[in-house]
Amino acid sequence: MAVPTKNIPAPDLVPVRRALLSVFDKTGLIDFAKALAAAGVELVSTGGTAKAIAEAGLAVRDVSELTGFPEIMDGRVKTLHPSVHGALLGIRDDADHAKAMRDHHIEPIDLLVSNLYPFEEVRRSGAGYASIVENIDIGGPAMIRASAKNHAYVAIVTDPADYASVLNALEMNLGSLSLDFRKKLAAKAFARTATYDAAISGWFAEALEIEHPTWRAFGGRLDQVMRYGENPHQGAGFYLSGDKRPGVATARQLQGKQLSYNNINDTDAAFELAGEFDPTRSAAIAIIKHANPCGVAEGATLKAAYAKALACDPVSAYGGIVAMNRILDAEAAEEIVKTFTEVIIAPDATDEAAAIVAAKKNLRLLVAGGLPDARAAGTLVKSVSGGLLVQSRDNAVVDDLELKVVTKRAPTPAEMADLKFAFRVAKHVKSNAIVYAKDGATVGIGAGQMSRVDSSRIAARKALDAAEAAGLAEPLTKGSVVASDAFFPFADGLLSAIEAGATAVIQPGGSMRDDDVIAAADAHGIAMVFTGVRHFRH
């Protein structure tokens, strides 16, 4: 049953006569407090905030004067008191509330300025359990929620970025704030506490190894509003979760126009793929289009790797995303800018490389400060109608798997190196995925087909097109190896790969017809390796 309401209409303009300031982040605090004091607002504050305001030469009342009770328990208890919450929650135009406030000497608070203990930052810092728990704010969220609920009479400011707009509104309304403005501040406040609690609950689930908590919450802070989403008629915004995994969300954009929704989605896919390749072993380049790789290669240098990756599908590479596992150098930059490219993302870039890219004013250059760890645990979320699908990140790496040769012929060392390379790439191709590879480079990729045999044929066809464009006598799939992200349900997909010229195959295995597939491989002298791990990517 709902809580009954007296339906007392909220006033449009509420004068701000008294403000309670209690903040951890003191950015802009003193200037804001000075402006409030100059406008005749009485300042009430707590702990370190009160000290900072007093040291700035401003008159400020300590909250203990309101409560008649000192801060105790190392500041854990200071605002959790009826004199504070009554001042925030009291309905001024309700006779009963007004009488209670008079009877108990509760002075109304018209403006609350509060931000929270830095739980998210402390959690990310790797602090110990006790330190993280101590940074769970209790009084702050309680006051914020109380003020936001009673936005009919109280304005709540949780973000220093809003100080200027509050002062402007006060000036425009001669010391008052409008109902519409208070509602917007309240909405932002509830979103902030929701995000804060989501971070806390997520940390507890992680710390206690609860894989599927009964209640699951996710939060983020708006980073940018985009012109549109996947299509022009769709709205879109980019929110940051606070996860410090190197990637598009944490990267620094050195130049170029604003990233679009599709740019961000594709750049994330590109850099996650680049993170599969150890930069101490070789340079690696991934060229992505519509979240699928159209060319991936390893090489002695980024320039060499880019040339091999581009050769796989130079047509699709036009307007693509280029990701790499090493610092972008001038040689590689000179080659990349020859083809129209939307985004380049790298762990870093030399000054010379950045200058070369700068000549293409719309080309975005992002530096991420590192590579994403392909082995790291994490959580992936996808929305569906009426719910969320939540799963752990696919952090299986082919180098860690127990590979099993199931055919009469074992792969040669060169074939095995290419098989691992191809399977590493197949992990990042939309299912059904087929990847042909040769000499550390993709030579044909089939993605997202309803039939695995169709993916195999499309990959072979694209390899044939690339060979014709390059003036080669035969496609590079001749003498290549092939990777499949999931098992071959029938031998037809394998036979299609053999027809394209593949000499060795890597796949998870596990089909009811594995014996038939193995027999087909043996009949054609093909080597086959089972990984025991599937890499579906929908």
Residues forming the active site? 149, 290
Residues 348 and 311: beta-carbon distance below 8 Å: no
464/473 Cα distance (integer angstroms):
10
CA distance 308 to 101: 76
Read out DSSP for 420-479?
HHHHHHHTTSPSS-EEEESSSBEEEEE-S-SSHHHHHHHHHHHHHHHHHHHT-SS-TTTT
* 3-class secondary structure, 232: coil
Of the candidates 454, 455, 474, the residue with the CA atom closest to the CA atom of residue 464:
474
Q: CA–CA separation, 472 vs 450, rounded Å?
A: 31
Q: Which phi and psi (to 5°) does residue 288 adopt? A: -115, 140
Rounded to whole angstroms, how far apart are CA atoms 341 and 361? 11
The two most distant CA atoms of the chain are separated, in Å, by 95
Give Cα separations from 497 to 168, 254, 421, 506, 512 (angstroms). 68, 43, 17, 12, 20
In whole angstroms, what is the distance from residue 353 CA to residue 357 CA?
6
| CA 365 – CA 257 distance, rounded (Å) | 10
Distance CA 286, CA 296 (A): 4
Separation of alpha carbons 285 and 481, rounded Å: 19
Q: Give the phi and the psi of residue 177 in degrees, each rounded to 5.
A: -125, 140
Judge whether 486 and 423 are in contact, CB under 8 Å: no
Contact 293, 273 (CB under 8 A): yes
Distances (CA, A) of 424 to 171, 376, 474: 60, 15, 25
For residues 161 and 173, is the Cβ–Cβ distance under 8 A?
A: no
Neighbour-count burial of 310, counting CB atoms closer than 10 A to its CB (0-12 exposed, 13-18 middle, 19+ buried): buried
- CA pair distance 183, 156, nearest whole angstrom: 9
Token pair for 169: 């509104």
Q: What is the DSSP code (8-state) at residue 79?
A: S
- CA quadruple 533, 502, 422, 452: dihedral sign: negative
Angle CA 462–319–429, to nearest 5: 50
